[in-house]
């Protein structure tokens, strides 16, 4: 049988993990962009492991270069071993968490992707288990606008095939097809694993039996084959193991971002799997865009306008400040304070920050009423008289000669922010109050990422390579420590002659620096900001 020439059709990578798949992928977004440009690929997907951390960065970088970003996520879906697949009403055995890759088609699909992600991180699910979705979360209406790549060696289907559980296979496929009608693809990869070779015929059989189109993927984890060894070091860091260990999970060197020519050669015998990557990309015509900031509503019941409430509370607050210390505020100075207050209020109202001030004042006053220590105010926010009269701060900006314009003025592009210090032991109470008052589904904590910085990456790489601690410690201490302006490893090597000499004289040190340079800056872990809170996020733009 003669197969069609695939060289005229570009390949689209539909399973790509970035460093936001923490300590799992070393393929930076910059690498993805450059490889896609080099290979003239018109689109590319981001499918990180159970998070959407990188979608905005990914989108902006690719759109800037005229490449279509495909938004997706590789969910962990909870199923069960042996006795059943966890279908509604079934009694499963031991719980397992399989891969379940979704791609977004349109705004409805993006909203549903966010819905599944929110469900997966509900506290009751994460308390004793990994974040996950369940089969019960999947409904035909709740999955609208999403495409699913079924199959793959990490999916539930692969496990059921290996268990030779035909009944469970059919039940599983029936359930997924009912939720994703005509939006299901059978994923096939050829990364050089024996398991893939054994499973592929069964994937193809099931695809034809159930009229599920085939699609090829490559599960991108690093830039190219040259980066494979560095990625192997990264996996040892993640697993707490040594490179020299044989009894550990190892990834094939085929997980690089391959060209269309390489993928065409790999799937020359199944051209439809190759060509369907373009069809999937054409069906996924959505990516998130920057939108104007929306503030939460303080008077949710609509009983009064935010402007009226703010002006009323500000006037009452100023009067109370005057009365509290009458000797410091004689009537002769009142006009200056009233004039400044009116000016600030006009700026705040015209810029749409009325609710912002009211909400901050609300939870600070709650903390004070509940004897939770609150700082007097610092940063540019201390220059606001409105903040002072609302007891957000306890610093009189007029008395101290502070300027409101440093905090907020009509020409300021970025949002203002109050630097507020709460008692470390009781700040969780304040966060809980905000969640209860404004709705747990409308309040999120800011996430922060720990990186493999210059010194840390040297220590981690040296450890997994089995190098002597004293040697690694000496090398790491040659890197200047400057928290305010961290020095990169590349800069440190350029500046420090001893590092250059050690690299030239000792192959082990050269190897250490080679891997460390490749891995520096990758994300090591994600955690929540101590008390950074966002209220009422706008989730998507139609």
Q: In this model, does residue 45 exceed pLDDT 70?
A: yes
- Whole-number Å distance between alpha carbons of 361 and 372: 14
Position 303 scores a pLDDT of 63
Mean pLDDT of all residues in the chain? 90
CATH of the domain at 525: 1.10.10.1600
Position 492 scores a pLDDT of 94
Q: In this model, does residue 89 exceed pLDDT 50?
A: no
Are 428 and 314 members of one domain? yes
Residue 95 lies in a domain: yes
Count other Cβ atoms within 10 Å, centred on residue 364. Answer: 23
Position 239 scores a pLDDT of 94
Domain of residue 191 covers 29-221+256-283
Residue 92 lies in a domain: yes
DSSP element (H, E) containing 188: strand 184-189
148 has which bridge partners?
Answer: 102, 184
Q: In this model, does residue 90 exceed pLDDT 70?
A: no
More confident residue, 107 or 422: 107
Give me the mean pLDDT over the 275-301 stretch: 85
Q: Cβ distance 260 to 230 under 8 Å? A: no
Q: Give me the phi and psi of 88, to 5 degrees please.
A: -50, 125
More confident residue, 482 or 521: 521
pLDDT tier for residue 540 given thresholds of 50, 70 and 90: very low
Position 94 scores a pLDDT of 79
Of 57, 44, 37, 34, residue with least CA distance to 12: 44
The answer to whether the Cα torsion of 353, 357, 362, 364 is positive or negative is positive
Are 124 and 273 members of one domain? yes
Q: In this model, does residue 64 exceed pLDDT 90?
A: yes
Count other Cβ atoms within 10 Å, centred on residue 312. Answer: 11
Number of domain units in the chain: 3
- Summarize pLDDT for 136-162 with one digit per residue, the tens: 999 989 999 999 999 889 999 999 999
- Which range, of 268-277, 305-314, 442-451, averages the lowest pLDDT? 442-451
- Summarize pLDDT for 325-364 with one digit per residue, the tens: 888 888 889 999 999 999 999 999 998 889 889 999 999 9
Are 424 and 475 members of one domain? no
Q: In this model, does residue 391 exceed pLDDT 70?
A: yes
pLDDT tier for residue 503 given thresholds of 50, 70 and 90: very high
Give me the mean pLDDT over the 312-328 stretch: 90
Are 99 and 113 members of one domain? yes
Could you tell me the two tokens for 345?
Answer: 């209020």
Count other Cβ atoms within 10 Å, centred on residue 297. Answer: 15
Are 263 and 384 members of one domain? no
Are 40 and 163 members of one domain? yes
Q: In this model, does residue 532 exceed pLDDT 70?
A: no
Are 435 and 456 members of one domain? no
Are 392 and 502 members of one domain? no
Q: Which of 444, 474, 495 is the last residue of a domain?
A: 444
Residue 35 lies in a domain: yes
pLDDT tier for residue 535 given thresholds of 50, 70 and 90: low
Are 519 and 396 members of one domain? no
17: left (phi over 0), alpha (psi -120 to 50) or beta: beta
Are 181 and 157 members of one domain? yes
Position 278 scores a pLDDT of 97
DSSP element (H, E) containing 499: helix 497-505
């Amino acid at each position: 049988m003669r197969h069609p020439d695939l060289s005229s059709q570009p390949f689209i990578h539909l399973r790509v993990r970035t460093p936001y798949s923490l300590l799992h992928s070393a393929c930076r977004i910059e690498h993805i962009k450059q490889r896609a440009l080099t290979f003239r690929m018109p689109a590319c997907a981001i499918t990180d492991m159970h998070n959407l951390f990188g979608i905005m960065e990914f989108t902006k970088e690719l759109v800037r270069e005229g490449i279509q970003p495909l938004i997706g996520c590789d969910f962990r879906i909870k199923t069960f071993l042996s006795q059943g697949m966890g279908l509604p009403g079934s009694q499963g055995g031991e719980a397992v968490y399989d891969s379940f890759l979704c791609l977004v088609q349109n705004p409805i699909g993006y909203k549903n992707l966010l819905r599944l992600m929110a469900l997966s991180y509900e506290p009751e699910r994460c308390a004793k288990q990994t974040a996950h979705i369940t089969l019960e979360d999947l409904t035909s209406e709740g999955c609208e606008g999403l495409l699913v790549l079924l199959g793959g060696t990490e999916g539930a289907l692969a496990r059921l095939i290996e268990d030779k559980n035909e009944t469970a296979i059919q039940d599983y496929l029936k359930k997924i097809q009912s939720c994703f009608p005509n939006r299901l693809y059978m994923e096939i990869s050829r990364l050089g694993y024996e398991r893939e070779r054994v499973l592929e015929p069964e994937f193809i059989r099931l695809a034809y039996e159930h009229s599920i189109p085939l699609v090829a993927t490559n599960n991108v984890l690093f830039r190219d084959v040259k980066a494979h060894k560095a990625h192997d070091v990264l996996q040892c860091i993640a697993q707490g193991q040594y490179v020299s260990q044989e009894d550990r999970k190892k990834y094939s060197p085929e997980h690089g971002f391959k060209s269309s020519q390489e993928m065409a050669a790999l799937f020359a015998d199944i051209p439809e799997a190759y060509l369907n990557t373009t069809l999937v990309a054409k069906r996924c015509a959505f990516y998130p865009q920057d939108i104007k900031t929306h503030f939460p509503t303080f008077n949710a019941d609509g009983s009064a306008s935010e402007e009226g409430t703010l002006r009323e509370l500000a006037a009452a607050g100023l009067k109370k400040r005057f009365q509290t210390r009458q000797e410091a505020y004689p009537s002769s100075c009142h006009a200056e304070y009233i004039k400044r207050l009116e000016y600030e209020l006009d700026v705040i109202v015209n810029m749409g920050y009325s609710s912002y001030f009211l909400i901050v004042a609300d939870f600070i006053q709650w903390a004070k009423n509940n004897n939770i220590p609150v700082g007097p105010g610092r940063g540019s926010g201390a220059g606001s008289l409105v903040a002072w009269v609302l007891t957000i701060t306890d610093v009189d900006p007029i008395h101290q000669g502070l300027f409101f314009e440093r905090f907020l003025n009509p020409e300021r592009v970025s949002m203002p922010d109050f630097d507020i210090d709460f008692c470390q032991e009781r700040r969780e109470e304040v966060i809980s109050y905000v969640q209860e008052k404004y709705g747990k589904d409308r309040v999120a904590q800011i996430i922060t990422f720990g990186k493999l910085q210059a010194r840390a990456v040297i220590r981690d790489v040296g450890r997994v390579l089995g190098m002597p601690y004293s040697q690694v410690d000496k090398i790491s201490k040659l890197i200047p420590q400057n928290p305010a302006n961290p020095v990169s490893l590349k800069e440190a090597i350029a500046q420090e002659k001893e590092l250059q000499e050690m690299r030239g004289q000792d192959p082990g040190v050269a190897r250490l620096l080679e891997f460390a340079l490749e891995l520096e800056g990758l994300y090591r872990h994600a955690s929540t900001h101590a008390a950074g809170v966002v209220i009422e996020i706008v989730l998507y733009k139609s």
